[in-house]
C-alpha cells in the first residue's frame, strides 16, 4: 500500500483549515443567547476531528469541477450532522462515554440536557446551510441534496444504524448483519458526503454511479478500519476510549473475523473504491488518496 503523499498532506491541511474557519463563522457566536447552548455547539464541533467527511465533499467536488464556495457549505452541513451524531452517541443512554476528540464529552463538560439540545440544533443548522445559499445550478438538484442528507441521517440511514447497534449489544451478528448495521450507521453519511460534493458541480450519470460505488465502499471501509483501531489503538492516540466495543459486548469485524482478516477486508474495500475511480481519470486523484488515508490512518 502506498505512503500518503506529501501534496495530499498539504491539500488535506488546507481543506481542514478551511472547514474549521467556515464552521467557526457559520455556527452561532458564543455570546449570542442562549449562550450556553451556542458555546456547547461550538465545543462539540470546533477544534477536533479529522474532517474526513468534508475532505470527501471537496474531493468529490473536484471530480465535478464544483465551486469551492459551494463545497464549503455542503462540507459543513455533513460535518454538523457527524458532530451531532457523536454528541448523542456519547450520551449515557447510548454509549455512555466521557472522552471524545481528546476532550471531555459534551454532556460531561456541560450537562446531559444541553448535550441533547446541541445535537438537535447542530442537525437543524446542517439543513439550514443546505437551504441558505445557491449550491447547485439547478434548484431541483439542490432540493435533492437536502433529501440525500435527510435520508442519510434518518431512520433509513445513520439513526436507523444506531438503533440496530443498540439492539445488537451482546449478540453475535452474521457478517451480512454486521454489514447492514455499518452501511447505515457509518456508511450512509460518508456516501452522502461524496454525493453532495458531486452535486455542487456537474457529473454525467456514469461518473455519478462510479462516485456512488466509491462512497459505498469507503463508507464500509471506514467502519472496518474503525473496528480494527478500536481493538489495536490506545485511548491517547484515538482521542476516545479504546477497546470499548469488546468491553460493551458489541459485535465488530474484529470479533467476527479476527484482526488479520479485518485488515484484509479493509484492503479489499479500498481496492473496490479505487476500481470505481478508474474511469474518472486524474479528477479522481484526491478521492484515491483519501481512500489510502482512510484505510492507513492510525486514529
Ligand atoms: C446518535 C443518531 C446517532 C447516531 C450515532 C455515527 C454514530 C451513530 C456514532 C458514532 C460512534 C462511532 C464511534 C462510530 C464509529 C465510526 C465513527 C463514526 C467514528 C468517528 O468518526 P471519525 O473517526 O471522528 O471521523 P472524528 O472525531 O475524526 O470526526
Examine residue 241 and state whether it is found in any structural domain, yes or no. Answer: yes
pLDDT of residue 246: 73
pLDDT of residue 248: 79
pLDDT of residue 233: 75
Ligand 1 nearest atom to the CA of residue 100, by list position: 27
3-class DSSP assignment, residue 100: strand
Q: Percent of the chain, pLDDT > 90?
A: 88
Examine residue 60 and state whether it is found in any structural domain, yes or no. Answer: yes
Return the number of other C-beta atoms located less than 10 Å from residue 210's C-beta. Answer: 22
Task: Please list the ranges in the chain whose pLDDT falls under 50.
Answer: 1
pLDDT of residue 4: 62
Q: Is the CB of 226 under 6 A from ligand 1?
A: yes
Examine residue 1 and state whether it is found in any structural domain, yes or no. Answer: no
Q: Rounded distance, CA 168 to CA 271, Å? A: 29
Longest distance between any two alpha carbons in the chain, whole Å: 51
The CATH number of whichever domain residue 228 belongs to comes to: 1.10.600.10
Residues 170-186: tens digit of each pLDDT: 888 999 999 999 999 99
Domain range for 266 is 6-292
Pocket test for ligand 1, best of 86, 106, 122, 219 (most atoms within 8 A of CB): 86
pLDDT of residue 55: 98
DSSP letter for each residue of 103-131: EE-HHHHS-HHHHHHHHHHHHHHHHHHHH
Spacing, Cα 219 to ligand 1 middle (Å)? 12
Examine residue 77 and state whether it is found in any structural domain, yes or no. Answer: yes
C-alpha cell at 220: 464500509
Phi, psi of 206 (to 5 degrees): -75, -35
Examine residue 257 and state whether it is found in any structural domain, yes or no. Answer: yes
pLDDT of residue 252: 92
Q: Is the CB of 108 under 6 A from ligand 1?
A: no
Examine residue 199 and state whether it is found in any structural domain, yes or no. Answer: yes
Examine residue 169 and state whether it is found in any structural domain, yes or no. Answer: yes
pLDDT of residue 1: 47
Examine residue 254 and state whether it is found in any structural domain, yes or no. Answer: yes
Number of folded domains that form the chain: 1
Pocket test for ligand 1, best of 103, 185, 189, 225 (most atoms within 8 A of CB): 185
Contacts of 112 (CB under 8 A, 6+ apart): 91, 92
Q: Rounded distance, CA 211 to CA 217, Å? A: 10
Q: Is the CB of 50 under 6 A from ligand 1?
A: yes
Residues 16-58: tens digit of each pLDDT: 999 999 999 999 999 999 999 999 999 999 999 999 999 999 9
CA dihedral 183, 286, 84, 74 (to 10 degrees): -110
Tell me the whole-structure pTM to 2 decimals. 0.95
Amino acid at each position: 500500500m502506498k505512503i500518503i503523499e506529501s501534496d495530499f498532506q498539504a491539500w488535506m491541511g488546507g481543506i481542514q483549515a478551511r472547514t474549521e474557519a467556515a464552521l467557526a463563522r457559520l455556527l452561532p457566536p458564543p455570546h449570542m443567547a442562549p449562550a450556553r447552548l451556542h458555546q456547547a455547539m461550538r465545543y462539540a464541533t470546533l477544534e477536533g476531528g479529522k474532517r474526513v467527511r468534508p475532505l470527501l465533499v471537496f474531493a468529490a467536488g473536484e471530480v465535478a469541477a464544483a465551486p469551492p464556495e459551494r463545497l464549503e457549505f455542503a462540507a459543513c452541513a455533513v460535518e454538523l450532522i457527524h458532530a451531532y451524531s457523536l454528541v448523542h452517541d456519547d450520551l449515557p443512554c447510548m454509549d455512555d462515554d466521557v472522552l471524545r476528540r481528546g476532550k471531555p464529552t459534551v454532556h460531561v463538560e456541560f450537562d446531559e440536557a444541553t448535550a441533547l439540545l446541541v445535537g438537535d440544533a447542530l442537525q437543524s443548522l446542517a439543513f439550514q446551510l443546505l437551504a441558505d445559499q445557491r449550491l447547485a445550478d439547478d434548484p431541483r438538484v439542490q432540493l435533492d441534496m437536502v433529501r440525500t442528507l435527510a435520508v442519510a441521517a434518518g431512520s433509513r440511514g445513520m439513526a436507523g444504524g444506531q438503533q440496530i447497534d443498540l439492539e445488537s449489544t451482546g449478540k453475535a451478528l452474521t457478517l451480512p448483519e454486521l454489514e447492514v448495521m455499518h452501511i447505515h450507521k457509518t456508511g450512509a453519511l460518508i456516501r452522502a458526503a461524496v454525493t453532495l460534493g458531486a452535486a455542487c458541480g456537474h457529473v454525467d450519470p456514469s461518473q455519478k454511479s462510479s462516485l456512488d460505488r466509491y462512497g459505498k465502499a469507503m463508507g464500509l471501509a471506514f467502519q472496518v478500519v474503525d473496528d480494527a483501531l478500536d481493538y489495536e489503538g490506545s485511548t491517547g492516540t484515538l482521542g476516545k476510549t479504546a477497546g470499548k466495543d469488546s468491553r460493551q459486548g458489541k459485535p465488530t469485524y474484529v470479533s467476527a473475523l479476527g484482526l488479520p482478516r479485518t485488515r484484509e477486508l479493509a484492503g479489499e474495500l479500498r481496492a473496490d473504491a479505487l476500481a470505481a475511480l478508474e474511469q474518472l481519470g486524474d479528477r479522481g486523484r484526491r478521492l484515491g488518496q483519501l481512500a489510502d488515508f482512510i484505510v492507513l490512518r492510525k486514529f
